[in-house]
Amino acid sequence: MPRIQEHPNHPDGGRKYGAFQTEIYKNGILDNKLPTVTTDPNKLEEQARHYLGARSFNYVAGGAGEKATMDANRLAFRQWKMIPRMLRPTTHRDLRVEIFGQKLESPLLIAPVGVQTIFHHDKELGVAEIARETGLPYILSTASSSSIEEVAEANGDGTRWYQLYWPQDHEITKSLLRRANSNGFKVLVITLDTWALAWRPADLDNAYVPFASGIGDQTGFSDPAFRAKFAKLYDNKTPEDDIFLASRQWEADVFSGAAHTWEDLDLIKAEWDGPIVLKGIQHVEDAKRAAEMGMHGIVVSNHGGRQLDGAIGSLEVLPEIVEAVGDKLTVLFDSGVRTGVDVIKALCLGAKGVLIGRLVRFQSSCEDV
C-alpha cells in the first residue's frame, strides 16, 4: 500500500494524502507497476466479484429485497451537487478532526462489518492493523471472526470502537462490554436495526448465512458468559464440541427477532462509562429521543440498504436530523458512500464523521492476489 506521508509544509505536520496519487504515477512510470486494486469506484465491486466466491461476494454486496434502499442511497448522493469556489486559502489542507475527545487523522471511520474471514485470510486483524497505520478508527463488529482480544492486539495503539449487536441475555451483554472496555475500545456503537436478519435474496438464493456454521460467531464463542450459559444448557458442552448447536444458541441471543426498547438503554448506560452511539437512526423523532436518553452520538444509517427495502436514502434525512439534534449529539453518517466526494457531501450536510464499509471489504478481497 502506498504510504500516506506527512505534509512537508504543513505547520502542524498534517498527512499529505496527495502523496498517494503521486506514488501511483511514480510506480507506473518508473517501475511499470500498476495498482493491484482499481482506483475507479465504479469498477471496484466487479473486481471484488472476480476474486470472491459467489457466497462471499453476495454477502457483502447484497441488500434487502430488490435493493431499492441501496438505489436510494446512491440517488441521494447524486442529487446533491458540488459548486467549487476559486482563489481560496486551500494550500494547507488539514483533514484532522476531534470526535468524542479523540483526535483523528481524518473524518473517516472504518465501519463495522462482520465475518471478514470470508473476504480475506487476515480476517478483521488485517484491517485493524491498516486502521492503526492510517490513523483511522476501527469499529469492530460483534459478528466478528476474530475475538475482541485478538483485534485489540492487532490494532495496538490505534483508535478502536466496539459495535454491539445487542444480545437478549443481559449477562452476556455485560460480559461483552467488559471485554471491550478492558481491551481499549473507547466508544460503544449499538446497532439498532438488526435484531433480526433481513430478507436478502442474494443470500437466500444460496441458502447462505455464515453464522449458522460458526463463521462470524467468534465474539460469542470466546465469551465467558456465553460459554457458561451454553455449558449449563447442554450438559457441559463447549462451543467447540458442537459448532452448529453453539451457532444456533448464539444467533438466538444476538439475532433473536425480539427488539429492545428505549428504556433498555439504561442497562447499557450502567455498564459503559464511555460515549454511546446509536447506529441506524433514520427519523428526526428517534434522533431527538436518543438525545433525551443521554446518548452521545448517532449514526444516520440504513445499514447500507441491507435491512429494510424501500427505505429512505440516509443522506436524504441527514440535514433535518442535524438541524434537530446537531447541537446535542455528535452526528455521524454511513450508507451508500463510494467516493471522496460523497464524504465531502455528507460533511457539508452536517455529519462530523463518515463510516466506510463495503469499499474497505471490496478492496481487501482484491489484495494479495
- Enumerate residues 6+ apart whose C-beta is below 8 A from 160: 128, 131, 137, 138, 139, 140, 151, 152, 184, 185, 186
Q: Which three cell numbers stand for residue 41?
A: 469506484
Largest CA distance in the chain: 73
Instruction: Print burial letters for 236-269: b (CB count within 10 Å at least 16), e (below 16).
Output: eeebeeeeeebbebbbebbbeeeebeeeebeebe
Q: CA 302 to CA 304: how far, in whole Å?
A: 5
Q: Which three cell numbers stand for residue 321?
A: 436530523
Using a 10 angstrom Cβ sphere, with 0-12 exposed, 13-18 middle and 19 or more buried, the burial of residue 112 is: buried
Nearest to 111 by CA among 135, 132, 133, 131: 131
The active-site residue out of 7, 120, 296, 303 is 303
Contact between 200 and 63 under an 8 Å Cβ cutoff? The reply is yes
**Residue 303 falls in the annotated catalytic set:** yes
- State whether residue 332 is helix, strand or coil: strand
First to last CA, the chain: 14
Instruction: List, by residue number, the catalytic residues.
Output: 303
